[in-house]
Amino acid sequence: MPTPLSTLARAADIEHDLGLSPQDALIYASVVEHIHSQNPSSIKLFVTQNKRDFLIVEDELAALNCKVLFTFDSAEGYVRSKTAG
């Protein structure tokens, strides 16, 4: 599936504003656009092992009701805690 122009434009802005690499800016732009396409009250999760680059957006994603985790083990535990019961 091709990347929408709106995502590419957002990525260029993010790259400039946050100093992310083009690749990381595109990933982050895609995540933000996906979040905006979801129910605002639903819980969202972004998992990346790239803590060095994505730690700077953790608060911004939290404001969008998106949890950021940096290991797949912690993501598994988080998902299990939300689905248990």
Q: pLDDT category, 60, cuts 50, 70, 90?
A: very high
pLDDT of residue 85: 62
Model pTM score = 0.87
Boundaries of every domain in the chain: 5-83
DSSP string, 2-54: PPPHHHHHHHHHHHHHH---HHHHHHHHHHHHHHHTS-TTS-EEEE-S-HHHH
Task: Please give the residue that has the higher pLDDT: either 11 or 3.
Answer: 11
Task: Please give the residue that has the higher pLDDT: either 37 or 43.
Answer: 37
